[in-house]
Amino acid sequence: MTNFRTVASGIAVAAALMLQSCYTTPTYVPAPAPPSIPERFEASWQAARGAASDVGVRVTYEDRPSGTLRGERGSSSVSITVVTQADGSIHVGFTSQDANLQEQLTRAYQRRMGR
């Protein structure tokens, strides 16, 4: 009986030591920094321009400092604004007399932004 206890104790100690040696502390992985405001503006601007192209709008006026794009598709004129809000968020707006075109622009923009 003593021999069995000695062997069982030895196995338990060996198992505990083996389990301890398997554990490693997780490595620290820093979280990526969020994109800066200029980077987010750039992404929104490019997505808005691309959305216009996707739905066949020909851009006739472009003013990045004011965040304004204007264009036309057929007889419909389009105005696109990209504005940085006070809280740092980016607001993109589409205006057109053609509600269907406005909806197409919104969907194309959302698709390009991965939403």
pLDDT tens sequence across 76-99:
999 999 999 999 999 999 999 999
Mean pLDDT computed over every residue of the chain: 88
Q: Is 42 helix (H, G, I), strand (E, B) or coil?
A: helix
CATH architecture of the domain 37-112 equals 2-Layer Sandwich (3.30)
Q: Is the pLDDT of residue 51 over 80?
A: yes
If we measure between CA atoms, which residue out of 74, 105, 101 comes closest to residue 92?
105
The number of beta carbons lying within 10 Å of the beta carbon of residue 98 is 15
- Provide the token pair at 90: 């980016």
Name residue 98's beta-bridge partners.
Answer: none
Residue 55 tokens, joined:
């739905």
Would you state the pLDDT for residue 20?
62
The model's confidence at residue 25, banded by pLDDT at 50, 70 and 90, is: confident
Q: What is the pLDDT of residue 9?
A: 72
- Global pTM reads 0.72
Selected residue with higher pLDDT from 13 and 43? 43
Element housing 35 (H / E)? none
